[in-house]
A and B are shown apart, each in its own frame.
Chain A
């Protein structure tokens, strides 16, 4: 069984690991290759701050709700392990701030210790009048992708630096199953008018005294458009940029100023922080993520495709649940192939 997975961000690597773990003993041999033109630290996942938090408005489907929960539970189970730091995993608590009262989010019972902010806590944020406090997780892209790569390499999965032009090209190369985890660039493999870049820019600073995340929200302007401060394994990520349809990968000085001003207003101690880096990434925005099978007819053969892309700004947050689902779809493919190979009398 020859499996090619395209895309080496968090979705690709976690899907690969999930499929390998589940089926490598069943499929002898399982030939799993990963093709990507970008690897860590150059993927979209590497730009993300890595805070586990879904959107405030509900998930598109009850399935997504489950996938978010599965991801949180999976990561939380690793928090107690000595490997947590290597995985880029740590508990972090913090604040979600609003200018007016809002309903509780659907994920309030997934995170730990969710509660409303007290008046004295709100005093710390003069521009905001309502908010939440909870304990969540950081799953930092750079560390996590490196860790996933090591796990996959140990298991004999091979990585290839390649710019794939089409799914057909990979099918013609001999793949039985293709997993498409190309994120925001999926449209290049197969047109998808629903997929758009949600450009984000972030500044990384050294501010080790900051122990909490602070996320601000303005329902009128939309998610990620107002300042946020997220401490990571070492540096702190400052952000607040979301530009739909903008494909510019260059760091914009205007966006830099917007981020800097907004975050310094939110936390004045940032003025003492040393800037350690800056980056731009494209959230793969889609009204709903695409996690489904497709049968591709190439020449006289059929190639099975599992699409797993379009996770917007919550890829790290939902990745493991999606990887499990993709593995389930893979299992269905195997069953169908086994059934089609069995002699008719066994049916």
Chain B
């Protein structure tokens, strides 16, 4: 088999970064991204893109930490390079605050971010209802800029982008040899995975350029994430809610919760409301599968279910997916082996 024809379904941060990793790892392949949504309309585009991991109950911690570290290191080198602005990656410092002392003093990712330490008493004075906090420096990956940058990288390497809604992965047979399923919350219907469900998140994007620090309530429900072009205020966690229309009442509530943490925000202007459906799953699905019908086969690599933590682990996770794709490609290239199975 000369050129392995690879289709990546889904054009969010997972789909695009997986495609880029494949292009770097798998020799002699063609890559086509197929999706019904591209930036700025993907779930990733709503996310603030701050690198603070989400914990997956069923994925081993050492693996989550490895993915986070690989993502952090990768974005870190972009942030200090001339590409930083085009890629939308920059450093940001701030605080994660708790209303009661958390059971674990430091999360598993404390030594991956920079300068992680407990907040001092003086720092906590800024947040009267909070008793404990972490101070650290991390990265922000502005998806509205990062995704187009990834698309550009792909196209430079000959990748194609195709606007199409896929109802069944088998549609891609026989045009493609390997299909990488990065359809996020869409996998619930696309591959019938009932363990993935939406966790609806509503955010406000405002103009408040004087806000230089992130502030995150330890519960993850209220946060202020300043970016290069706007500040993201959040949020909500509504399980099983598929509604993509912003709710005005929720917006008012988000604004009021954020102004309580950062009073100067009341002078923020130009408010945009956005909604994203986090593809929640107990663990990230990184798995090979072979679909067989009427004597035909289609290799699948599933790569979805990153919940709230997609951007935080995307690169490490994509490297893993690319390795699985590489294994599939090698298997396809040595037909003598496959016929023995």
Please give the residue numbers on chain A whose beta carbons come within 8 Å of chain B beta carbons, in ascending order: 79-86, 90-93, 112-113, 115, 117-118, 120-121, 124, 133, 135, 138, 208-212, 231, 233-234, 268-269, 271-272
Q: Does B228 contact A (CB under 8 A)?
A: yes
Chain B residues near A115: list those with CB within 8 A.
115, 117
Note all chain A residues with C-beta closer than 8 A to B208: 85
| A271-B115 CB under 8 A given contacts A80-B263, A209-B228, A234-B210 | no
**B113-127: which residues lie under 8 A (CB-CB) from chain A?**
114-115, 117, 119-120, 122-123, 126
Residues of B within 8 A of A234 (CB): 209-210
- Confirm or deny: B236 has a beta carbon within 8 angstroms of a beta carbon on chain A: no
Question: Judging by beta carbons under 8 Å apart, are A90 and B120 in contact?
Answer: no
Q: Chain A residues near B212 (CB, 8 Å)?
A: 90-93, 211-212, 231
Check B267 for interface membership: any CB of A closer than 8 A.
yes
7 tightest A-B CB contacts, nearest first: A209-B228, A209-B90, A272-B85, A84-B264, A90-B210, A269-B84, A93-B93
Q: How far is the CB of B176 from chain A (nearest CB, A)?
A: 38
Is A208 in contact with B210, judged by CB distance below 8 angstroms? no
Contact B92 A211 (CB under 8 A): yes
Would B85 and A113 count as touching, CB distance under 8 A?
no
Question: How far in angstroms is the closest Cβ of chain A from B293?
Answer: 49
- CB-CB under 8 A from A120, the residues of chain B are 114
Residue contacts A-B, CB under 8 angstroms, 5 given = A81-B263, A91-B213, A92-B212, A212-B91, A233-B209
Dominant SS among interface residues on chain B: mixed
Provide the residues of chain A in CB contact with B81, threshold 8 Å: 268-269
| B229–A208 CB distance below 8 A | yes
Contact residues in B for A268 (Cβ distance below 8 Å): 80-82, 84
Inter-chain CA distance A212–B211, complex, in Å, is 11
Shortest distance between the CB of B313 and any CB in chain A (Å):
19
Q: Which of B70-94 contact A (CB under 8 A)?
A: 79-82, 84-86, 88, 90-93
Q: Are A90 and B264 in contact (CB under 8 A)?
A: yes
One of A124, A138, A211, A233 near B226 (C-beta < 8 A): A211
Decide if A80 touches B126 in the complex (CB within 8 Å).
yes
Q: How far is the CB of B329 from chain A (nearest CB, A)?
A: 36
**A-B contact number at CB 8 A:** 97
Which of A81, A91, A112, A209 has the most B CB atoms < 10 Å from its CB? A209
Task: Output the least CB separation between A57 and chain B (Å).
Answer: 24
CB distance from B69 to the nearest CB of A (A): 12
Contact status B114-A121, CB under 8 Å:
yes
B196-248: which residues lie under 8 A (CB-CB) from chain A? 208-213, 226-229
Residues of B within 8 A of A133 (CB): 115, 137
B190: CB under 8 A from chain A?
A: no
In the bound complex, CA of A211 to CA of B137 (Å)? 11
Which residues on B sit within 8 Å (CB–CB) of A269? 79-82, 84-85, 90
Interface residue B266 (Cβ < 8 Å from any Cβ of A): yes
CA distance A121 to B211 in the complex (A): 22
- Chain B residue contacts of A212, Cβ below 8 A: 91, 93, 212
Q: Give the Cβ gap from A27 to chain B, nearest Cβ, in Å.
A: 34
Chain B residues within an 8 Å CB radius of A138: 210
B18 at the interface (CB under 8 A from A): no
Q: Return A215 CB to nearest CB of chain B, in Å.
A: 15
Q: A113-B123, A117-B115, A272-B84 are in contact. List 10 more A-B contacts (CB 8 A).
A: A90-B210, A93-B137, A112-B120, A113-B135, A211-B93, A211-B212, A233-B209, A268-B81, A269-B81, A272-B86
Distance in angstroms between the alpha carbons of A194 and B263 in the assembled complex: 44
Residues of B within 8 A of A80 (CB): 126, 263
| Set of chain A residues within 8 Å of B114, measured between Cβ atoms | 118, 120-121
In B125-150, the 8 Å CB interface with A consists of 126, 135, 137
Contact B90 A112 (CB under 8 A): no
Instruction: Report the Cα distance A91→B265, complex, angstroms.
Output: 13
Closest to B209 in A: A234
Closest approach, in angstroms, between the C-beta of B212 and any C-beta of chain A? 5
Residues of A within 8 A of B122 (CB): 112-113
Least CB separation from B80: chain A residue = A124
Chain A residue nearest to B114 in the complex (CB): A121
Chain A residues near B210 (CB-CB < 8 A): 84-85, 90, 138, 233-234
Contact B115 A118, beta carbon cutoff 8 Å = yes
Q: Per a CB cutoff under 8 Å, which of A79, A90, A121 touches B137? A: A121
B contact residues around A113 at 8 Å (CB)? 117, 119-120, 122-123, 135
CB-CB under 8 A from A135, the residues of chain B are: 93, 123, 213
Residue on B nearest A143 in the bound complex, by CB? B210
User: Chain A residues near B90 (CB, 8 Å)?
Assistant: 209-211, 269
Complex Cα gap A209–B75 (Å): 14
B120: chain A residues within 8 A (beta carbon) = 112-113
Residue of B nearest to A234 (CB): B209
On chain B, the residues within 8 Å of A209 by CB distance are 84-85, 88, 90, 227-228
Bound Cα distance A299, B137 (Å): 64
What is the bound-complex CA distance between A208 and B123, given in angstroms?
A: 25
Rounded to whole Å, the gap between the CB of B123 and the closest CB of chain A is 5
Give bound CA distance, A80 to B264, whole Å: 7
Chain A residue contacts of B227, Cβ below 8 A: 209
Query: Inside 8 A of A211's CB, which chain B residues have their CB?
Result: 90-93, 212-213, 226
Q: Chain B residues near A91: list those with CB within 8 A.
A: 126, 212-213
Kindly state the separation between the CA atoms of A86 and B85 in the bound complex, as whole angstroms: 29
CA distance A118 to B112 in the complex (A): 12
